[in-house]
Chains A and B, each alone.
Chain A
Amino acid sequence: MADGGKKKAVGLPLPLMQGLHGEFYRHCAAGRLSFQRCSDCGRWRHVPREICPACSSWNWSWEQSSGRGTVFTYTITERSMHPAFAERCPYAVVVVEMEEGVRLLSRVVDCPPSELEIGAGVTVDFLSLESPAAGADDRQGEQAPGQEEIVLPVFRLA
């Protein structure tokens, strides 16, 4: 980065707490990892969709996941591609395949990136981020509206 040492704090990109995405994250804030499940064909789905791609049903409910899954794939990012993550490098971005069959992009918080292995068992945990209101001056308009606490689903080795 050719910033010439001029450091400008860049806020962590946060989910906007809107629509079905917001509902997903509100379940996380309540300590539950939940996914949509079709009431007609029984299919679990993630990311949230308004209708079931398998049977076109509008009927669904949020159902709590067992929270257990395995590492499906990952990448270890060593060179920063976004200033908000520069200080975390190297960090691993991990795709977890849940017992219910859906996959979720997340991270494994208690495992050094170099020790990650595909197939490793993991269980969900929750990471509360600072309130978007705090330090909002430094952000570039990425913060969620309001004062809502944002909780990300993360994983620990099982």
Chain B
Amino acid sequence: MKDKACIVGVGATGFCRGEGSGKSLHGLQLEAALAALADAGLRAGQVDGIMPFPNLGTAEGFAASLGCENLRFATTVNMGGAAPVASLGVAAAAVSSGLADYVLMPAGWNGYSGSRAGAIVQEMTASIPGGAIARDFYLPHGLVAPPQWYALIARRHMHEYGTTAEQLGAVALAMRKHAQLNPAAVMHGKSMTMEQYLASPMITDPYRLFDCCLETDGAAACVVTTTERARDLARPPVYISGVASAQPYPADEITGREDIFRTGLTVAAPRAFEMAGVKPADADFAQVYDCFTFEVVQQLEEAGFCARGEGGAFVQEGRIELGGELPVNTHGGLLSEAHVLGMGHVVEAVRQLRGEAAGRQVADASLGVVTGWGDFGDGSIAVLRN
């Protein structure tokens, strides 16, 4: 499947908190979808494949609004925040096998003005990964929300490898620094120091407020087609060179895993790099799903950018900042740009590979990595090149 499909269009809405987007969940994603289609130089009616984000809309609904009269590929990858990058793989397989010509992938939500994460936890217990397991074994003891699930892994990592609060802080600071170079970022104009990071209130140990992703309104989208079709379109194609997704084991229970650090990405990453025929060290940047700071450390380890246990040191000394060894989340990520469910990371990777990232451009970027993380550690990864 290497280089058989390309990302040919990306788009995003503005990102905000405060008064909110003023758009419906559907309308917000339509705005991003139309932007991605315009970017590609495609008419909405040409889309014949749609892959919505889990629980945020249906392919039928998007097709109806967009006038897609020939929808013939409609599916959703049920991996939470790992879905957009995992969907790149499914879309690439779909277009390269002829199941669809142009696959649209919208993602977005009114994460600030609509259903806040906390409310979702209360109202949608059944939608928590592991469903009845979480209800019967986690909730009665007060384990109710994602920061707590992942904090359990982070705390164990700190115990086994000596990972420190300052190292988690280095992740938060790098994302915040990058947001200062991204006018679209919600945290643009709001810089942060390590002192401010360490002084932020503890949410669920070891996660402080500034270890946690933003809750924002916004959407993003991309369009995937075959390499042949991509050559006729408006923008320089970005090739999907390697892509893979995988589940942790077991995927429905997060506390009992024999190796608590083994996640979906542990399985997926070697496959994606092998497909692309490159090594992690070949990447010019990585857009890493940063729901919380430690998940960046963990994914850098499990994707093979450094050895397990070395992620804490890896993120320090500016190594993951622009100008460093591996710039991570050059847009600011979920921590400092906006929470667009991982699609923002795809959009940023494409912009970097097209040389459109303006003040935050990675010089001569030709190969980049994007990861996704969702539910109880589902993982996805794409190796993209220009």
Contacts of B250 in A (CB 8 A): 53
Residues 96-127 of chain A, each 1 if its beta carbon lies under 8 Å from chain B, else 0: 00000011111100000000001000000000
Tell me the minimal C-beta distance from B60 to chain A in angstroms.
30
B156 at the interface (CB under 8 A from A): yes
Are A13 and B139 neighbours in the complex by a CB distance under 8 Å? yes
The residue that B142 contacts in the complex, of A14, A16, A85, with Cβ under 8 A, is A85
A22 to chain B: closest residue by CB: B136
B125 at the interface (CB under 8 A from A): yes
Chain B residues 106 to 157 lying within 8 A of chain A, measured CB to CB, are 118, 121-122, 125, 132-133, 135-145, 147-148, 151-153, 155-156
A95 at the interface (CB under 8 A from B): yes
Known: A15-B140, A81-B144. A73 touches B260 (CB 8 A): yes
Contacts of A94 in B (CB 8 A): 141
Contacts of B151 in A (CB 8 A): 75
Tell me the minimal C-beta distance from A114 to chain B in angstroms.
9
Tell me the minimal C-beta distance from A23 to chain B in angstroms.
11
Are A21 and B136 neighbours in the complex by a CB distance under 8 Å? yes
Are B135 and A95 neighbours in the complex by a CB distance under 8 Å? no
The residue that B152 contacts in the complex, of A12, A14, A93, with Cβ under 8 A, is A93
B253 at the interface (CB under 8 A from A): yes
Cα of A74 to Cα of B137 in the assembled complex, Å: 15
A131 at the interface (CB under 8 A from B): no
Which secondary structure dominates where chain B touches chain A? helix
Are A75 and B141 neighbours in the complex by a CB distance under 8 Å? no
Are B256 and A75 neighbours in the complex by a CB distance under 8 Å? no
B159 to chain A: closest residue by CB: A118
Are B155 and A75 neighbours in the complex by a CB distance under 8 Å? yes
Chain B residues 179 to 211 lying within 8 A of chain A, measured CB to CB, are 201-207
Are B256 and A47 neighbours in the complex by a CB distance under 8 Å? yes
Are A81 and B135 neighbours in the complex by a CB distance under 8 Å? no
B255 at the interface (CB under 8 A from A): yes
The residue that A81 contacts in the complex, of B121, B153, B201, B206, with Cβ under 8 A, is B121
Contacts of A15 in B (CB 8 A): 135-137, 140
A130 at the interface (CB under 8 A from B): no
Contacts of A16 in B (CB 8 A): 132, 135-136
Cα of A105 to Cα of B148 in the assembled complex, Å: 12
Are B256 and A102 neighbours in the complex by a CB distance under 8 Å? yes
Cα of A31 to Cα of B147 in the assembled complex, Å: 32
Are B152 and A74 neighbours in the complex by a CB distance under 8 Å? yes
Are B152 and A82 neighbours in the complex by a CB distance under 8 Å? no
Contacts of B202 in A (CB 8 A): 76, 78-79, 90
B260 to chain A: closest residue by CB: A73
Are A81 and B118 neighbours in the complex by a CB distance under 8 Å? yes
Cα of A79 to Cα of B137 in the assembled complex, Å: 21
Contacts of A142 in B (CB 8 A): 125
Tell me the minimal C-beta distance from B40 to chain A in angstroms.
40
A72 at the interface (CB under 8 A from B): yes
A150 to chain B: closest residue by CB: B140
B256 to chain A: closest residue by CB: A103
Are A73 and B152 neighbours in the complex by a CB distance under 8 Å? yes
B144 to chain A: closest residue by CB: A82
Contacts of A79 in B (CB 8 A): 201-204
A60 at the interface (CB under 8 A from B): no
Cα of A152 to Cα of B141 in the assembled complex, Å: 9
Are B137 and A76 neighbours in the complex by a CB distance under 8 Å? no
Are B256 and A76 neighbours in the complex by a CB distance under 8 Å? no
Contacts of B118 in A (CB 8 A): 81-82
Are A75 and B121 neighbours in the complex by a CB distance under 8 Å? no
The residue that A93 contacts in the complex, of B136, B142, B156, B203, with Cβ under 8 A, is B142
Contacts of A47 in B (CB 8 A): 133, 137, 253, 256
Are A81 and B152 neighbours in the complex by a CB distance under 8 Å? no
A84 to chain B: closest residue by CB: B142
Cα of A114 to Cα of B168 in the assembled complex, Å: 20
Chain A residues 1 to 47 lying within 8 A of chain B, measured CB to CB, are 10, 12-16, 18, 21, 25, 46-47
Are B140 and A152 neighbours in the complex by a CB distance under 8 Å? yes
List 5 other contacts, CB 8 Å, given A74-B152, A82-B145.
A14-B140, A47-B137, A72-B156, A82-B139, A90-B202
Can you list 17 A-B pairs, Cβ within 8 angstroms, ordered by A? A13-B125, A13-B135, A15-B135, A15-B136, A18-B132, A21-B132, A47-B133, A47-B256, A73-B153, A73-B156, A75-B151, A75-B205, A77-B204, A81-B121, A81-B204, A105-B143, A152-B140
Sorted nearest first, the 7 A-B pairs with minimum C-beta distance are A13-B139, A75-B151, A15-B136, A73-B156, A76-B205, A81-B145, A21-B136
